[in-house]
């Protein structure tokens, strides 16, 4: 057995101070990654710092041009947020697809993107919508935030405080989910900005985690329609291949999920 000290700070500043004092501290958000690895003795933090009850980290704010989701906001709260549903329906829909009710009522957006699981849903929305990740130290653009498999631009001890999503002209999300875990075998988020640019991100497909899909972006910028993707071929190079699906299968899923996302976006 090993000793772990549990902390429930009331502010971001208190959480950061506790982290700095710990010899091997870890932040706890929803706990869907940290708790299982602790049970398996793959992690033995000296201190567990629970961010879930910090009031300043909870809530959804919507302005005329952006949706800001604070980091400890649960997936369920995002999915059920009326203002978020109206501003970016695809984002609220994505949140409703994450895991099961138990996961959605505990998991948070900050924990999801900080962990950057290669099959998680939120990274696709963050990247496709060109979101900005805000921390207790700085702001990081989506294109600079994700650094590969389970890797991000976050420094040791840095805390995500919110994610701001520009409101697009159109957006859609579709995923082919694993029937047991409900993670994405492949999920695709498509977005058309008010300026006419197109961004497309796929999750669950690449060996390096969430990725942009330039071929689909180019086709949709020329013609925003599912039919515009009929002739697009996605390379299987660098895509995952496992017992759930080959790299060729996932390459096809990227196109199919993109077509469904465009149809959903309208």
pLDDT in tens, 140-170: 999 999 999 999 999 999 999 999 999 999 9
Q: Grade residue 189 by pLDDT with cuts at 50, 70 and 90.
A: very high
Comparing 42 with 221, the larger pLDDT belongs to 221
Domain with CATH 3.30.43.10 in the chain: 5-50
Inter-CA distances, 6 with 11, 205, 249, 257, Å? 15, 36, 44, 42
pLDDT in tens, 54-98: 999 999 999 999 999 999 999 999 999 999 999 999 999 999 999
Q: Grade residue 108 by pLDDT with cuts at 50, 70 and 90.
A: very high
Q: Residue 19 is encoded by which pair of tokens? A: 């982290």
Q: Grade residue 36 by pLDDT with cuts at 50, 70 and 90.
A: confident
Tell me how far apart the alpha carbons of residues 96 and 206 are, in angstroms, rounded to a whole number.
Answer: 23
Across the chain, mean pLDDT equals: 96
Where does 170-265 sit in CATH, by number? 3.30.390.50
Percent of the chain with pLDDT over 90: 91
Domain with CATH 3.30.390.50 in the chain: 170-265
Angle between helices 214-222 and 247-265 (to 10 degrees): 30
Angle between helices 247-265 and 89-96 (to 10 degrees): 130
Tell me how far apart the alpha carbons of residues 55 and 14 are, in angstroms, rounded to a whole number.
Answer: 13
Amino acid 43: pLDDT: 86
Say if residue 44's pLDDT is above 90: no
Number of H helices, E strands in the chain: 11, 14
**Element holding 260 (H helix, E strand):** helix 247-265
Amino acid 93: pLDDT: 98
| Cβ pair 203, 186 in contact under 8 A | yes
CA 38 to chain centre: 23
Across 201-227, average pLDDT: 97
Across 193-214, average pLDDT: 97
Amino acid 1: pLDDT: 53
Domain with CATH 3.30.465.10 in the chain: 59-166
Say if residue 2's pLDDT is above 80: no
Taking Cα atoms as reference points, which of 111, 64, 117 lies closest to residue 87?
A: 64
CATH fold group of domain 5-50: 3.30.43
Across 183-197, average pLDDT: 96
Where does 59-166 sit in CATH, by number? 3.30.465.10
Amino acid 217: pLDDT: 98
Say if residue 180's pLDDT is above 90: no
Across 189-193, average pLDDT: 98
């Amino acid at each position: 057995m090993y000793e772990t000290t549990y902390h429930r700070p009331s502010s971001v500043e208190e959480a950061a101070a506790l982290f700095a004092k710990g010899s091997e501290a870890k932040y706890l958000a929803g706990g869907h990654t940290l708790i299982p690895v602790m049970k398996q003795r793959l992690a033995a933090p000296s201190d567990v710092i629970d961010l879930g009850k910090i009031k300043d980290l909870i809530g959804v704010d919507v302005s005329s041009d952006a949706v800001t989701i604070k980091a400890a906001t649960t997936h369920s709260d995002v999915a059920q947020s009326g203002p978020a549903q109206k501003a970016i329906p695809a984002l609220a829909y994505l949140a409703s697809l994450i895991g099961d009710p138990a996961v959605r009522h505990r998991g948070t957006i900050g924990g999801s993107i900080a962990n950057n699981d290669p099959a998680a849903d939120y990274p696709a929305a963050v990247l496709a919508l060109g979101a900005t990740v805000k921390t207790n130290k700085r702001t990081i653009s989506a294109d600079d935030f994700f650094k590969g498999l389970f890797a991000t631009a976050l420094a040791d001890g840095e805390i995500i405080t919110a994610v701001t999503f520009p409101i697009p002209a159109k957006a859609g999300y579709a995923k082919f989910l694993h029937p047991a875990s409900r993670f994405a075998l492949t999920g695709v988020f498509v977005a058309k900005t008010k300026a006419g640019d197109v961004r497309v991100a796929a999750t669950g497909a690449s060996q390096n985690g969430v990725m942009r899909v330039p071929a689909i972006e180019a086709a949709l910028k020329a013609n925003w329609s599912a039919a515009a993707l009929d002739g697009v071929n996605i390379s299987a190079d660098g895509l995952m291949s496992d017992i759930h699906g080959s790299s060729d299968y996932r390459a096809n899923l990227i196109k199919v999920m993109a077509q469904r996302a465009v149809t959903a976006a309208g």
